[in-house]
Structures are given as structure tokens and as C-alpha cells.
Structure 1
Amino acid sequence: MDHHHDPVTGSSTVDVLAVLLRLAMLLPTAFLAGGGLLRPLVGELPRTRKLVLSGLGGLSALLAVVSAFAVDVNVVALAVHVVLAVAVPVLLRWPRAGRWASVALLALVVLETSLGGTGVEFALDSVFVAAAAVWFGFALLGPAVPPSSGWRPGPLAITLGGLLVLAGAVRSGLSGLGFDRRLYTTVFGVVVVALVVLPVAVSVLAAVRRDRAYRLGAIGVALGFLAWSALGAIPAPPPLPVPGVPLLAGGPGFPVLVSPQRPGHNVVHFPASAGGDLAAGVRGGIVTKAVARPGAEGTWADVELPPGRSDLEIRRGDTTTVVEVDAGDAPGPPITDADAPECASAALGGLVAGRADVLTSCPSDALTPEDAGALVKLVEFLGERKPSGITLVGDGSPRGVAAAKLVRDTAARAGLAVRPDAGPDTALVVVAGWAAGYTAMTRAAELQRLQPTHQYGLYLAPWLLNGPIVNAVASASLPLRFDPREATAVGYAVAVGDRFGGESPTVGGFRNWLGAGHPAGDVQIFAAAQVNAMPMYPTEPHATGMVMDRDYAGQWVPDGTIVPITSVLR
């Protein structure tokens, strides 16, 4: 049986019971608070109004208690709510005391409506809830307010309507939806529209029918109040996909990355934590199973996207989730199948940083000056160690070709031979992309297991600092311009892991996460190794702050470590 994600709600995680209970409790509470606020304006309160306010108080207290059994609530807030809901009807004989209880209850309604909102949102909550409560108060007690009280219900109705319109308009602007199709295709969008339309209708009614504005407009204000209260509990829909910008979307409990989101060949990436049995494809088209790719984490599915908008189906067992994509009409950058995972991972770094950059090129399209300088220093370092030669592994990408030529030219100046064979007294230097780099590492590990090979070490280009590649061998070295143990690098590692299901960091993603203009550091050679220097049992006592778990957040090498083995190379 297929369980389709409902694109209308924008989320499949809304707790409907909690929302309904919350709305059912807040609306009578707001009516009760409004009635209590206006009680001092009325001399002798009619019996029917007393019964209505008493009923509202009992209903509010009862629903608050019921909600405690259905959802997690703050016990102190619950107790205060029940006490104030009961106090307002009890204090009807003492209007001034009852007003203060109503003010406290109204403040509690604001807090319960805001759901932790701060700043501008909290101020808007206060204005909207207070204006609605006063409107409800006049709807309940208006006919009983004597003309001698000095209140002018007509102008006040217009003022309250204006406040509701202003608050609704600002809240709509803060929603981030703009004027796109999410306003009518998602529950969140429909609620935002209601926050604007209903107050406008009530304001028009107040201007036309001043004498009956409160009674007739109470329904509109009540619906607007319900919409306002529900908005905080409804997750906002994800941003609309932008053609050419790789899409980071949510799947059924795990994230999904679509790259480059252009017509034609795309890759759909799932983190390893998403598990297996995953597949992806355009609705009505071919669905491709997601499989592991050499040198990359997680699983990957190849998908052909048509021009324009389409629905991408993510299948996991018998569960199907729909993700909206928009490939546009322009062609995407030429991405080879071997370099697609590295390209997508680099784009993920920018998405994690909050940037929506159109993917126009991939790291394998060119050798950067920073990486070129690091490779030169690496070869010069090897020249001082005097191996019999360098075994060089490249690929056919523009970066791989340029890097291989640079290594050969630098080796010739340093008096090092570049040999095709893997001798015992050689150093292996890999400047290929992820796929070829992973193959070279697994082959080197097998050769070293059988006989002495590459005794001067295994060296990788900076962009090959990726878990599956460095963990293919016991130890490998890389020339880096940053320390993966420093705060900035660890911060990126934690950020990408949090946003993408525990995914490990990559150099290309780190660079995009930092953004353009970030200065390059000095070159040091780091060694990545699969080691656990201080193995201890989980229950064994250890020093305070000492991390014993090999899988702690922020690691650049899963189940391993990376440390500098040289000083800065000058």
C-alpha cells in the first residue's frame, strides 16, 4: 500500500489532535478574557450574560485539563490557565478585580498563541489577540453597555478592524511566501491568506454597519483568531524549487538532495542513515534504485528530469513520498557520471549555509590555484624524502589532467621520476576524482597487503579528503590549507551532518559553505588513519570532557582521525 505525502499540507508531521485541542481551548478563552475586560462598563450584568461567561470559563478550564492528557503541556501554565478561567466568572460581582484577572488571562492567551515567538512576531501576537478579545467582549456585552459609559462602539470597531488588518498584513509578509502558488496549494498558505482577507472583510463591515458590526463581525474575527492561533502549529512549506539550484528537500524521515535540478540527467542522493531499499524517479516515468557510488557516502539514484515542474517520487519499501522539482528550460552544466557525487556534495555545502546558488560548474572542471599550490608543495616535500619515483593516478577531467601535468612538471624539477608501476620504494600520488581515487586506494590497500608497496606513503589531492576514500586504506596523507580539527571546520562538519542525516564533510562542500573571498591558509600535510588511540569500554571512567566515542559529531574521517604530520610547508 502506498502512503503518499500530502503536498497540500506542506508537511506530514502536523499533530492534528494537538492543534484542534489548542484551538478549541483558545477561542472560548479569548471570548472569556474579552468579556471580563469590558465587565466594568456594564452596571447590572444580565443573567444570560453571566451564564455565557460562566460557561466559557468552565469550557476553557475543562479543555485545558483535557489537553494535559492528550499532549505534553507545562504543568504550571496549565494550573494558571485553569485558575484564571475559573476566576473571571467568579469575580463578575467585583468588576475591577475581574478585569485584572481578565488581563492576566489575556496575557496567557498571547503566550499560548505565540508558541515561543519572540520580537516582532510576539508583538504581532499581542496586538492581534488583544484586538480580537476586545471585539469578542463587545460582541458579548455590547448591548448591555450604557451610552453614558463614554465608549463609542462604531469608531472603536473601525480601529480594532484596522489593527487586525495591519497585524495580518505584517504576519503575511513575515511568512516568506510572497505571492507564489504556496498561498493556495498548502494549508499554511491558505491560513496566511485568511489572516489578511478576514480582517479586511470585518473592517469593511465595521465601516458600513457600525451599529451591528460586533455581532456580525464576530464570526469573521473568530475565524481569523483560529487561523492566527493555528499558524504557529502548522509547519511552513519548503521554499519553491529554483531551476538550476540543487534541491535539498525532506523525505519520509530523511533528507533528499537533487542535483543539478536541470533538464536531463540528475542525481538524487540519500544519506547512509536513510537505509536501503530506496528508489527515485519522476512520477509516471522510470524509477531507479538508489545504489552506492565509488568514493561517495550514502546512496545515489540517476533520474532524468523533464523541463519545467514535475513531481519526483521517492520510494522506500511500500512508502512513496512526492517532492516537487523545477528543472526549468535552460541546459545544466556538463557533469560526468563519475564526478556527479562530488559536484552534488559541493553544492550541499552552499545549501547548508543558506545560499541558493545556481550550479554552473563542478570542482572537477578546473584546478584551483590553491589546490595547485598545495600539490606543488607536496611534490617538493616528496623530493626531499627521495623515493625512487612517484606512481601517479589521474583521470580525464579538466582538473585531473591539469593536476597530473603539474605533478609531472614539479617532479621533473625536483629530480623525481614519475613511474607507471607500483614499486616498493615509491610514493603513490592520486589526483583523480572521487571514483578513480577510491579505486586507486582500494587497489593500493590490496597491493600493500600482498607485498611491500609504496613504502614512501599514499598521498591524495586535497579534494579527496572524503570518508570512503581515506578509509579505504589504513593511512593516507593529504596537503591541506585548513586544519579539520579547528572550530570552523568542525562547525561545518556538524552543520552538514545535522542537515543531511549524519553525512560526513567534504572539501568542496566546506569551500562552498565558507563562501567566496575566504582566505586560503598555509599548506600542511595531514595524515588520516583508522585508529582509536584510547579504546575504552562505555562504562569505564575517564577524564571529564574526554570523548571516547569514535562517532562523535564533527569528525572529518568517520571512525578515524586526522592529524598534521609536518609543519607549514614553505
Structure 2
Amino acid sequence: MDHGTHATTGSAGIDVAALLVRLILLLATAFVAGGGLFGGRPRALPAAVAAALAVASAFVFDVNPVGAAAHAMLVVAVPALSVWRPNLARWAAGALLVLVVVETSLGRSGLEFAADTVYISAATAWFGLAQLREKPSRSGSLTLSLGLLLALAGAAQLLLSGVAFDRRLWESLFGLSLIAVVVLPLAVLFVRERKAAVLGVAVAFLAWTTFVALPEPDEPPVPGISLLRDVSLAGQQVPVLVSPQRPGRNLVHVPVAGLTVAGVPATQRLGADGYWAEVDLPAGRSDITLAADGDDTSLEVDTGDGPGLDVDPECATAALGGLVAGRQEALTSCPSASLSEEDAGSLTKMLAFLARRGAKAVTLVSDDSPRGAAAATVVRAAGLRVTSEPSPDGALVVVSGWEKAYQALTGPLPSYLYGVYLAPWLLNGPIVKSVPSSTIPLRFDPREQTAVSYAVALGDSFGGESPSVAGFRNWLGAQQPAGKVQLFASAQVSVMPYMDHDHAESGGQWVPGGTVVPVSVPLE
């Protein structure tokens, strides 16, 4: 029976009452099954407790009533049959043992299920031996074998858990439970008092059923690497990005409104999705408090002791792309720190295309970042007349960062004869949706499977976040697109017929509520 606390990953909360009922129910059932397997007469109290809790679970915790009824009937049948039909009692006890293994292992498979089967069966056999009034001649060696078997199964599970070699082993209930399932069976082998030994195995059994029912603790933050976590806040799971997770100024990004981070309200940033808060973090480990709607929670961070890095939303979303792909890579620099050869080539070919169309002038929007300055140099070297004032008979070319680009594109714009052209890194929902249409030189097709997969993965992981070129590049890692430069037009019209209801907001779209389509052949 699933009491709603089966093992998951993430940070979901635990229903303490359901967990306690689960522990008592499974332990009492194991005592009854053990007694029946060895031909003893299980005591009535554990059977009564197990039966009562099985029935109560169906009403209180929405457990499957058929499973609850079967559990209650078997746990009552074992002691009853042990008086009249001992052979049938063994069969009922065997069925009850299978039921305990299944209920303990719900949602687990493979090696973990095998470890569950061995541990639960060995502990149940120990309980059965302990209840025999007349011990078999080889009970000592059998007890030793069961204890070693418990310890070996526990050690195997410890290695499978992923927490064996970091501080989660002693800093979480999940890890402490794993320690208990290994240490206690070994310790009871040296205990002469029978009741104390049974108590030790019973605690080890409870520890096993506890860690199986607990959420697996998050991996510890890696100092100096941006952190992506889900936190439970105000009745919902909220993804949180902390970047660059270094001492000093950090950006904390969330997809929902109404949060405060370390007392700082998370607000919108021009040209970026979601909400952002700037917080100062000390060196080393610390906690960030997030609050919303009268609820609060803490998020552990570890900034290490390395140098800081000044990040903007574009830089943070670049880190987010790598994290969504499952890579733990430190940010060494931000996209605005330099103009890549690929982007410089894309801009050059875009400007040559404009010249071939007959444009004589471009209105340039850049910024003072290294990338913006280098991109402005590329524009000026293209042979077109460059102005900083609107030139309606020319084209608007934007090569700045996100914030300045958004400011330049919002509000009334002159009607540029040759349209609006954006640098590749400006393909981001809030920016391209600020104008009716724009043209962008890209080396990949946002409609192709790889780009769509990134958009879906990002939206699913971070509350419908819009894709970004910097995030896509980090998501790809070493497998960067090597395609030729092609011009794509972005417009606020959706033409993606394959979008399903479950992904109505993200659904693989690079521009939610809009579209990006090619408008040129590959540029030579």
C-alpha cells in the first residue's frame, strides 16, 4: 500500500503521520509473517495492530481498499491458521512476506528491488526465529548468517543510494537511516541478550522502511557552480536558479511572481523572462530564505572562496541551459564578455544581405560591453552608412545586450524601410515579442528537433521559461551547431500545429505565442 511517501527525487515534503503508520504497519506485519513462516504461533497483538492500521489506511490515506483488505485478511489469517492448519499458515505467511516486500519497494526496481527483497526477507526470518520457543540446533549459525546478509544488503543499498561519499550521509534522515541498516545488524551479532538483539533488528527494519519512504536528498551545492533547485513554497514547487553561486553579488531567478529572496523582492528585468533578485552571499555555505504568501523556506548555497563574477540575466540563462542538460560547469565568463567568431560572421553576412537588398544606411543600437563594442565595429566595417539616429529609409540593427535591446524596441518605432535586424543572441521571447516582426541571423533552425527538445526541456524544468541562444549553446555543450547562416523572421503569430495542450505555453516554441521561420537561403 502506498501511503503517499514513496521514494522520489526532489524536495517534496513528507506526510509524517502517513510515514509513522507505514513504519508500524510494516514492522508488525513482518513479525506476524516471520512467526508463521517458522511454524510458531504469532502473537495476537502485532496481528491486531497490523490489521487495524491496514483498514485505517484505506480511509485516512486513500490507500487502495482492495490492497488494504487483502493485507488485513492475511495478517489475521496467519495466527488463526497456525492453531488449526500450520501448513496453511506457512503459505499465508509467505504471501504476507511478499506483500511486505511489494509495499516496501513500491516504485523501485532492479538492484534496489533486489536489495529490498533480501533485507525484508532476512529481517522477517530473524523475527520468526526470535518467536520460536524451541530453537533449532543451528539457530546460532542461522542468526549469524541472517545478520551478515542484512549488513551486505544494507551496504549494497548504501552504495546504490548516491549519498555514500558526501555529507548527506550524516546530515539527512535519509543518510542516517542508511547508516542504521548497515551498522545495527552487525552490532546485534555481538549482543547476547535476545530481546536486545530483536530490538536492534527491529530498529534496522524501521530504518530500511524509513529511507525507502523518504525523498532522496538533493545533491549538495557545488561551490562556484550555478545552482538549480526546486523548493516547496506556498503550496507549490518553485524552481530556483542561483547564479553564479560565488561570493558577492548573485542573481536569484524564479518563474513566478510574489517572492522575496533574502528580503529582496523578485522583480522583472527588461528583456528577460520571470523574476529576479540581486542578493549578496558570503563565502562558503549559507542559507537563502525565500518567502511568499506568508510561507517561507530556506535554500542551501555554497559559494566557495573563489572570485566573484558579475552576471546578468542572459548570463544566468546560459548557466541554466547547462544545468537543465545535467552538467555541473562553472561560469568562467558571460556571453557579453566577447564576440565569438561565429556571431561576428553571422553579423557580417546579415549586413551583406542588407547591402544586396539596397539598404544604404543602418541605425545602430549597441552598448559598452566587450561584445557590443566588437559587434558595433563589425557593423561599421560592413560598408553601410551607420547612424545613431533613426533612419527610416534604412534598417534598424540591434547588437546590444538584452536590457538595452528591449528598451530600444519597446514603444513607438519609426517605420524602417528595410526592417528590424537583431544580433543572434537577441533571440529571446520578451525581446522579439516587443516588435511585430524582426529578422535574426542564425546557424540553427529553431524548428528542428534538437532546438525544440531544448525548448521543451527548459520549459518543463523552469516554469515555461523562454529559450535563449546562450542557454541553447550551453545545453548542447560540445555539440555546437555547425550550420550555415540563414536569416529567420520572428513574428507574433503561432503556426506550430503540433503544439499540444500540455505544452501550450512552451511546447517547443522559441517565441511563446509567436513563430520563427526562415526567410532566406543559407548565406554565403
TM-score, normalising length: structure 2: 0.92
SS at the partner of 1:204?
coil
User: Which of residues 402, 415, 433 is equivalent to 2:401?
Assistant: 433
- Superposed displacement of residue 161, structure 1: 0.7
Q: Over aligned residue pairs, what C-alpha RMSD do you find?
A: 2.3
Tell me how far apart the structure 1 counterparts of residues 520 and 20 of structure 2 sit (CA, whole Å).
Answer: 63
SS at the partner of 2:463?
coil
- Superposed displacement of residue 132, structure 1: 0.3
Residue of structure 1 equivalent to 2:385: 417
SS at the partner of 1:107?
helix
**Structure 2 letter corresponding to 1:309:** R
- Superposed displacement of residue 145, structure 1: 4.2
- Alignment map for 1:72-111 (pairs within 5 Å): 72-92=62-82, 93-111=84-102
- Superposed displacement of residue 56, structure 1: 3.1
Tell me how far apart the structure 2 counterparts of residues 72 and 427 of structure 1 sit (CA, whole Å).
Answer: 64
- Please tell me whether residue 126 in structure 1 is matched to residue 129 in structure 2: no
Tell me how far apart the structure 2 counterparts of residues 298 and 517 of structure 1 sit (CA, whole Å).
Answer: 28
Change (3 A) 1:232 1:395: same
- Superposed displacement of residue 95, structure 1: 2.8
Residue of structure 2 equivalent to 1:178: 164
- Alignment map for 1:262-411 (pairs within 5 Å): 262-271=246-255, 274-276=256-258, 278-281=259-262, 287-333=263-309, 335=310, 340-409=312-381, 411=382
Aligned length: 510
Residue of structure 2 equivalent to 1:462: 424
SS at the partner of 2:291?
strand
SS at the partner of 2:188?
helix
Tell me how far apart the structure 1 counterparts of residues 398 and 503 of structure 2 sit (CA, whole Å).
Answer: 31
Residue of structure 1 equivalent to 2:150: 164
Superposed CA deviations along residues 403-453 of structure 1, whole A, max 9, x for unmatched, are: 2212222x22xxx322322222211111111111111211xx5124xxxx2
- Superposed displacement of residue 23, structure 1: 1.2
**Structure 2 letter corresponding to 1:33:** A
- Superposed displacement of residue 546, structure 1: 7.1
Superposed CA deviations along residues 49-77 of structure 1, whole A, max 9, x for unmatched, are: 35x1x443333222111111122323443
Residue of structure 1 equivalent to 2:6: none
Deviating more after overlay: 128-137 vs 318-327? 318-327
Tell me how far apart the structure 1 counterparts of residues 318 and 172 of structure 2 sit (CA, whole Å).
Answer: 31
**Retained in 1: the 8 A contact 2:465–2:506?**
no
**Retained in 2: the 8 A contact 1:14–1:234?**
yes
Tell me how far apart the structure 2 counterparts of residues 13 and 98 of structure 1 sit (CA, whole Å).
Answer: 39
**Structure 1 letter corresponding to 2:257:** G
Tell me how far apart the structure 1 counterparts of residues 502 and 409 of structure 2 sit (CA, whole Å).
Answer: 28
Tell me how far apart the structure 1 counterparts of residues 378 and 68 of structure 2 sit (CA, whole Å).
Answer: 70
- Please tell me whether residue 59 in structure 1 is matched to residue 44 in structure 2: no
Change (3 A) 1:163 1:549: closer
- Superposed displacement of residue 357, structure 1: 0.9
**Structure 2 letter corresponding to 1:35:** G
Residue of structure 2 equivalent to 1:559: 513
Tell me how far apart the structure 2 counterparts of residues 317 and 290 of structure 1 sit (CA, whole Å).
Answer: 14
Tell me how far apart the structure 2 counterparts of residues 146 and 313 of structure 1 sit (CA, whole Å).
Answer: 59
**Retained in 2: the 8 A contact 1:370–1:520?**
no
Residue of structure 1 equivalent to 2:24: 24
**Retained in 2: the 8 A contact 1:390–1:426?**
yes
Residue of structure 2 equivalent to 1:114: 105
SS at the partner of 2:416?
coil
Change (3 A) 1:123 1:533: closer
Tell me how far apart the structure 1 counterparts of residues 484 and 185 of structure 2 sit (CA, whole Å).
Answer: 61
Residue of structure 1 equivalent to 2:175: 189
Tell me how far apart the structure 1 counterparts of residues 484 and 95 of structure 2 sit (CA, whole Å).
Answer: 61
**Retained in 1: the 8 A contact 2:505–2:512?**
yes
Structure 1: unaligned runs, 5 residues or longer: 1-9, 40-44, 282-286, 535-542
- Superposed displacement of residue 458, structure 1: 0.9
**Retained in 2: the 8 A contact 1:332–1:360?**
no
**Structure 1 letter corresponding to 2:37:** L
- Superposed displacement of residue 566, structure 1: 2.0
- Superposed displacement of residue 530, structure 1: 1.2
- Superposed displacement of residue 289, structure 1: 2.2
Tell me how far apart the structure 1 counterparts of residues 498 and 87 of structure 2 sit (CA, whole Å).
Answer: 58
Change (3 A) 1:170 1:548: closer
- Please tell me whether residue 247 in structure 1 is matched to residue 219 in structure 2: no
SS at the partner of 1:169?
helix
**Structure 2 letter corresponding to 1:65:** V
Residue of structure 2 equivalent to 1:537: none
**Structure 1 letter corresponding to 2:190:** V
Residue of structure 1 equivalent to 2:184: 198
- Alignment map for 1:499-514 (pairs within 5 Å): 499-514=461-476
Tell me how far apart the structure 1 counterparts of residues 483 and 86 of structure 2 sit (CA, whole Å).
Answer: 71
Tell me how far apart the structure 2 counterparts of residues 520 and 357 of structure 1 sit (CA, whole Å).
Answer: 22
**Retained in 2: the 8 A contact 1:291–1:299?**
yes
Structure 2: unaligned runs, 5 residues or longer: 1-9
Change (3 A) 1:547 1:15: closer
**Structure 2 letter corresponding to 1:29:** T
Tell me how far apart the structure 2 counterparts of residues 524 and 98 of structure 1 sit (CA, whole Å).
Answer: 76
**Structure 2 letter corresponding to 1:513:** W
SS at the partner of 1:456?
coil
Residue of structure 2 equivalent to 1:220: 200
- Superposed displacement of residue 389, structure 1: 1.2
Tell me how far apart the structure 2 counterparts of residues 549 and 134 of structure 1 sit (CA, whole Å).
Answer: 51
Tell me how far apart the structure 1 counterparts of residues 104 and 475 of structure 2 sit (CA, whole Å).
Answer: 36
**Retained in 2: the 8 A contact 1:292–1:298?**
yes
- Please tell me whether residue 144 in structure 1 is matched to residue 106 in structure 2: no
Superposed CA deviations along residues 67-112 of structure 1, whole A, max 9, x for unmatched, are: 1112232344334323322332233233333222222211111111
SS at the partner of 1:66?
helix
Superposed CA deviations along residues 288-324 of structure 1, whole A, max 9, x for unmatched, are: 2222111111111111111122221222243332111
Change (3 A) 1:466 1:176: same
- Superposed displacement of residue 548, structure 1: 11
Superposed CA deviations along residues 15-55 of structure 1, whole A, max 9, x for unmatched, are: 1122111112111111111112111xxxxx5xxx35x1x44
Deviating more after overlay: 123-132 vs 229-238? 229-238
Tell me how far apart the structure 2 counterparts of residues 34 and 11 of structure 1 sit (CA, whole Å).
Answer: 35
SS at the partner of 2:452?
helix
SS at the partner of 1:258?
strand
**Retained in 1: the 8 A contact 2:459–2:506?**
no
Change (3 A) 1:550 1:527: farther
**Structure 1 letter corresponding to 2:260:** A
State percent identity of aligned pairs: 55
Tell me how far apart the structure 1 counterparts of residues 289 and 327 of structure 2 sit (CA, whole Å).
Answer: 25
**Retained in 2: the 8 A contact 1:168–1:199?**
no
SS at the partner of 1:483?
coil
- Superposed displacement of residue 199, structure 1: 1.9
